[in-house]
Amino acid sequence: MPGSGHFKTSFPQDMAVFDTPFRRLWLIILLLGLVAFPFFAPRYFIHLGNLVLLASIAALMLNLLTGYTGMISLGHAAFLAAGAFTVAALVINFKPPPPFWLTVPAAGAVGAILGLLASLPALRLRAVYLILSTVSIHYIVTLTVSLYQSNAGFISGINIPTATLGPLKLENSRTWFYFLLVVTVVVTIFSINLVRSRIGRAWMAIRDKDIAAAALGVNVAFYKILAFTFTSSVTAMAGALGAYYLNYAAAEEFTIWLGIFYIAMIIVGGIGSILGSFFGAAIITLMPYLLDGLFQSINVPPRLQTYVFAIQFAAFGLLIALFLLLEPDGLVAIWRKVRTYFEMWPLKYHRPPSSTR
Amino acid sequence: MDKPLPLEVTDLSLNFGGIQALEGVNFQLRPGEILGLVGPNGAGKTCILNVVSGIYRPTRGKVLFEGKDLIGLRSHEIAVMGIARTFQNVELFPKMTVLENLLLGCHKDIKSNIFSAGVFWGWAQKDECAIRRRVEDVIDFLELEMYRKLPAAGLPLGARKLVGLGRALVMQPRVLLLDEPSSGMNRPEKEDFARFLLRIKYELAIPMLWVEHDMKLIGDLADRLVVLHYGKKIAEGDIREVIADPGVIEAYIGKKLVATA
């Protein structure tokens, strides 16, 4: 085709996620940047990167559940806890501890069963009532794991041995970074494929108009159960990976706040956007560290030092309030505007958004 | 009678608490015909569509689709059997594009599960291409090319109504239920719509049960009309018979006027 634009001549071309050479180029640059990151960044930054990657997997799953299927869940921390404590229970009950490649899928299976149970109220309840039922699931699960932890005789968490995957020993933050990067990329590709195919369309249809979805032949109950089961399973595996990464699982970590933070991630990043899940996970995970750095760089009078925690929470609340007021579609909407500006530059023409994602 | 009728409604009654929404309604939809369902506001027209598509469960009565009883089946099961419908308020999925809205009509005909859809390459992609072909045919048929990749929420009402019709057509139904498809359309849109309806009737031969308020439009296009009033059928027949019926005049205009006229 002579150089006069970009033409799509087949359906697969039209379905492609990165449909232009320009976008593919930027994708490659992004991936190269991520691969190069551990070589240049100090260890502390790699550690933060790992935390962001772990949070992104769970945030992405919450976005599939809440942003795509429309079921708001405040119980996300419970599924992370279930994953972490499946690993913990397997590790302390078996000698020698079962291998990494067995415990993580086991955590996924536990998460799936728990998600299946959690989805049953969703078949009857809507909106606020569903949120309440997820809160109760959160407390049931966290109470169970904290009882387990104290009954097993551990006061401040259960130690988890270093993960080994065949010849690969995941012991420093750099190997973890590459491992988590691969996992995140796989989960992301899987999620993108889901939302651009039959399953994702059914989820979004249920979110938007469930009666119309049923009239088109979508089994609403089945797809709600599927959404809960699938996302909980992957979230539990993320929780298991987190436990291996930190080398411990502590019940105190999984507070209701954690569940709220995950909701905050998808609000700030963009509800119903895969890319937004990453933005949100990065901002919310890094914010305490950013504020910490800020407090250290400006000389905070010692009198105010005790309020650092309170200020962090206030800043967090302010951030969410600002997003809800000013940009309800989250960071991804801002990103889209910036991208359109540069794509169109120097013209001011704004084409209508081709997609809502 | 060798082949069962597309739709046969017998003695259909529906109560909401003390309100009798439908009372002993009978009618038959014959192969290839457009059956108009008219009546004043609150006559129970939409209720009948909701019963047929499984959203309401009737108190009494039978709905036979090609001889099979639909009562007790769930909405999506009825859709899978081959009954498609449009909604009065269109009920498009606002955040999805027109294309995605239409692709949902093919939901029941492809089988990709969560694993094949997540992997995508291979089975799921092949499925997607096959249904995309079908959707493109409907886009051609209803002349929706310009809206293909726009979110459904921002479309003008006339276009949204057509997408709603398209979503039902993509299902390749054997009975089509239309709930006030032309309300809110302007004259040119109604003319286009009439053309599409006739093409559906003559080219696709899908029998239609059509609820409508625009008597001129439905009178011109429908083969027969069923008139409802307060949940009861008060007349049935072609347009001339129906508008001459004293019961229908009474329902629409009132008794006093008839007496003084």
Specify whether the CB–CB gap between B51 and A189 falls below 8 A: no
Phi/psi class of residue B230: alpha, beta or left (left: φ > 0; alpha: ψ in -120 to 50)? left
Asked, for residue A48, whether it belongs to a domain, the answer is yes
For residue A273, pLDDT beyond 90: yes
Give the nearest partner residue to A217 out of B79, B124, B129, using CB atoms. B79
pLDDT greater than 90 at residue B140: yes
Total domains in chain A come to 1
- Nearest chain B residue to A187, by CA: B118
- Residue written as token pair 């959160």: A138
Provide, as residue numbers in chain A, all residues whose Cβ is less than 8 Å from the Cβ of B107: 198, 201-202, 216-218
pLDDT in tens, A56-78: 999 999 999 999 999 999 999 99
Please give the residue of chain B at the shortest CA–CA distance from A193.
Answer: B118
pLDDT tens for B194-246 read 999 999 999 999 999 999 999 999 999 999 999 999 999 999 998 888 888 88
| Residue B121 pLDDT > 60 | yes
Among chain B residues, the shortest Cα distance to A188 is held by B118
Asked whether residue A343 carries a pLDDT value surpassing 80, the answer given is no
Of B93, B17, B14, the closest CA to residue B52 belongs to: B14
Full-model pTM: 0.91
**Confidence band of B2 (pLDDT split at 50, 70, 90):** low
Q: In what order do the strands lie in the sheet with B34-38?
A: B83-85, B175-179, B208-211, B34-38, B224-229, B232-237
For B188, phi then psi, to 5°, come to: -60, -35
Where residue A64 sits, what CATH number does that domain have?
1.10.3470
Which of A193, A220, A230 comes nearest B76 by C-beta? A220
**Residue B101: both structure tokens together:** 């809205």
Q: Which of A264-268, A296-300, B75-79 shows the lowest mean pLDDT across its residues?
A: A296-300
CA distance A61 to A230: 8
Instruction: Count other Cβ atoms within 10 Å, centred on residue A193.
Output: 22
Residues A142-175: pLDDT tens digits?
999 999 999 988 888 899 988 888 888 888 899 9
Q: How confident is the model at residue B112 (pLDDT cuts 50, 70, 90)?
A: confident
Q: Residue A351: what residue type?
A: R
Q: Which residue has 């994702």 as its token pair? A: A200
Q: Which residues of B touch A197 (CB under 8 A)?
A: 112, 117, 120, 124, 127-128
Angstrom distance (rounded) from CA A275 to CA B229: 53
Q: Is residue A12 part of a domain?
A: no
Supply the ipTM of this predicted assembly: 0.92
Q: What is the pLDDT of residues B12-49, one digit of tens each?
A: 999 998 889 999 999 999 999 999 999 988 899 999 99
Chain A, 314-353: which have a CB under 8 Å from a chain B CB? Answer: 352-353
- Euclidean distance between CA atoms A259 and B114, whole angstroms: 25
Burial of B155 (0-12, 13-18, 19+ CB in 10 A): buried
Residue A339 phi/psi, 5-degree rounding, is -65, -45
Residue A13 located in a structural domain: no
Report the pLDDT value the prediction gives residue B256, as an integer from 0 to 100: 63
| Amino acid letter for position B106 | C
Tell me what the pLDDT averaged over chain B comes to. 91
Question: Which chain B residue's Cα is nearest to A17?
Answer: B120
Query: Which chain B residues are Cβ-neighbours of A209 within 8 angstroms?
Result: 91-93
The hierarchical CATH code for the domain B7-82+173-260 is: 3.40.50.300
Please check the confidence at residue A1 and state whether its pLDDT lies above 50.
Answer: no
Q: Do A215 and B125 touch (CB under 8 A)?
A: no
Which among A61, A216, A232 is the top mutation candidate for probing chain B, defined by the most B β-carbons within 10 Å of its own β-carbon? Answer: A216
pLDDT for A356: 44
The distance of A118 to chain B (nearest Cα, Å) reads 19
In degrees and rounded to multiples of 5, residue B237 shows phi and psi of 150, -170
| HEC sequence for B74-131 | CHHHHHHHCEEECCCCCCCCCCCEHHHHHHHHHHHHCCCCHHHHHHCCCHHHHHHHHH
* Tens digit of each residue's pLDDT (9 = 90 or more) over B148-194: 999 999 899 999 999 999 999 999 999 999 999 998 899 999 999 99
Residue B261 clears pLDDT 80, i.e. is over it: no
> Where are chain B's structural domains?
7-82+173-260
Looking at residue A4, its pLDDT comes to 62
| The residue type at A207 | R
Contact A219 B118 (CB under 8 A): no
Could you write out the three-class secondary structure of A295-332?
HHHCCCCHHHHCCHHHHHHHHHHHHHHHHHHHCCCCHH
In chain A, residues 194-253 whose CB comes closer than 8 Å to chain B: 194, 196-202, 204-205, 207-209, 211-220, 226, 230
- Contact assignment for A15 to B125 by CB distance below 8 Å: yes
Calculate mean pLDDT across residues B76-101.
94
Beta B224-229 vs B232-237: how paired, if at all?
antiparallel
Q: Kindly determine whether residue B104 and residue A201, on different chains, have CB atoms separated by under 8 Å.
A: yes
Residue A355 binned pLDDT confidence (cut-offs 50, 70, 90): very low
For residue A128, what are the contacts with CB-CB under 8 A and spacing of at least 6? none
Q: How far apart are CA A227 and CA A192, in angstroms?
A: 14
Task: Report chain B residues touching chain A, CB-CB < 8 A.
Answer: 53-55, 74-76, 79-80, 84-85, 87, 91-97, 100, 103-105, 107-108, 110, 112-114, 117-120, 124-125, 127-129, 132-133, 149-151, 154, 167, 171
B124–A217 CB contact, under 8 Å: no
Q: Which residue has the higher pLDDT, A294 or A80?
A: A80
User: Are B207 and B175 within 8 A, CB to CB?
Assistant: yes
pLDDT digits (tens, 9 = 90+) for A216-261: 999 999 999 999 999 999 999 999 999 999 999 999 999 999 999 9
Q: Containing domain of residue A57, as a range?
A: 34-344
Percent of chain A exceeding pLDDT 90 equals 66
Helix (H, G, I), strand (E, B) or coil at B231: coil
A198, A228, A273: best to mutate for the B interface, most B CBs within 10 A = A198
Structure tokens at A197: 């195919």
Contact B54/B10 with Cβ under 8 angstroms?
no
CA distance B222 to chain A (A): 24
Coil, helix or strand for B51? helix
Using only C-alpha atoms, chain A has a radius of gyration, in whole angstroms, of 21
CA distance A82 to A119: 16
Q: Which residue is listed with tokens 């109604």?
A: B190
CA A203 to chain B, closest CA, distance in angstroms equals 11
Q: CA–CA separation, A211 vs A220, rounded Å?
A: 9
Using alpha carbons only, what angle is made at residue A202 by residues A198 and A204, rounded to the nearest 5 degrees? 120
What percentage of chain A has pLDDT greater than the value 70? 96
